[in-house]
Amino acid sequence: MADLAQPAPNLNVIAIDGPAGSGKSTIAQALAKRLELPYLDTGAMYRSVTFAVIATGADPEDAVTTASIAREMTLQMPENGDIIVNGLDATLEIRGPEVTRAVSAVAAHPDVRSELVSRQREWAHRRGGGVLEGRDIGSAVFPDALTKIYLTASAEVRAARRAGEVMDLDYDTVAADIARRDALDTSRQHDPLRRADGAIEVDTTYLDIDEVVSVISAHVDRAIAARAD
Ligand code: DC
């Protein structure tokens, strides 16, 4: 068994990082389909721990309790997009306002992160790679990824995209939540959101999905060719 405390080289890992609303999920899923690689939404894993924390009535700020909940959590993420946490269907709840409000606090705890990072590495090891999206994939989980992408978009466009996804919240509420989470995710001590060394920045503000996927695919093709040399 590989040492999951360490990232592994030679896997076909495509790391997609960026702030909320930058298009990560849509792009990563479309890219995975085009490259015929498996796809992992690591944000859904932090959301799942947060769901379990709320379900047990624990305090999201409590580093010790949240870490033990993370270690004990059973999580199933079948390809149809369902999220099963400790045997409960949490597919809708993990995207709801309660989890969204608390997830940055839970994701800031180092022992929660190390548990989920191990699971993410194990996931990729078992499959020989994959497209992983999150905040720290290129900087911490797989710094040796074949291709590292940092997606950005203007704050207005990111808020408009998220507001379009969640029916019950207006633009201003979504924009304020994104700004708050950006601030927490970029300023936390452990593996904050940042552009990883060697990551290619792609601004998606004025690009459609197909254009972004084509840009990234070209980078992946170049990386595969360079590795073969
Ligand atoms: O991508 P998302 O909005 O579903 O992510 C939810 C939260 O999880 C986000 O506010 C930051 C955190 N996260 C993280 O810290 N590291 C990751 N690799 C993925 C998400």
Question: For atom 6 of ligand 1, which residue has the closest CA?
Answer: 43
**CA-CA-CA-CA torsion sign (179, 91, 161, 198):** positive
Taking only the tens place, the pLDDT of each residue in 141-163 is 999 999 999 999 999 999 998 88
Task: Check residue 198 and report its DSSP letter.
Answer: T
Question: For atom 8 of ligand 1, which residue has the closest CA?
Answer: 43
Q: Which amino acids bring their CB within 6 angstroms of ligand 1?
A: 20, 42-43, 46-47, 103-104, 107, 134-136, 181, 185
Mean pLDDT of 171-188: 89
In the numeric block, which tokens belong to residue 143? 């710094």
Domain-wise residue ranges, the chain: 12-228
Task: Decide if pLDDT at 202 tops 70.
Answer: yes
- Which atom of ligand 1 is least distant from the CA of 24? 1
Question: For atom 2 of ligand 1, which residue has the closest CA?
Answer: 43
* Top mutation candidate among 42, 148, 158, 184 for ligand 1, by most atoms within 8 Å of CB: 42
Task: Check residue 93 and report its DSSP letter.
Answer: G
Q: Locate tokens 């769901």: which residue?
A: 51
List the beta strands (DSSP E) in the chain: 12-17, 39-41, 75-76, 84-85, 88-89, 129-134, 147-152, 200-203
- What global pTM score does this model have? 0.92
- 108 CA → ligand 1 middle, Å: 10
Question: For atom 18 of ligand 1, which residue has the closest CA?
Answer: 134
Percent residues over pLDDT 70 in the chain: 96
Give burial (CB, 10 Å; 0-12/13-18/19+) of 117. Answer: buried
Q: Assign domain 12-228 to its CATH architecture.
A: 3-Layer(aba) Sandwich (3.40)
Mean pLDDT of 20-33: 93
What lies within 8 Å, CB to CB, of 43 at 6+ separation is 24, 25, 103, 133, 134, 135
Do 128 and 89 touch, CB atoms closer than 8 A? no
- 228 CA → ligand 1 middle, Å: 33
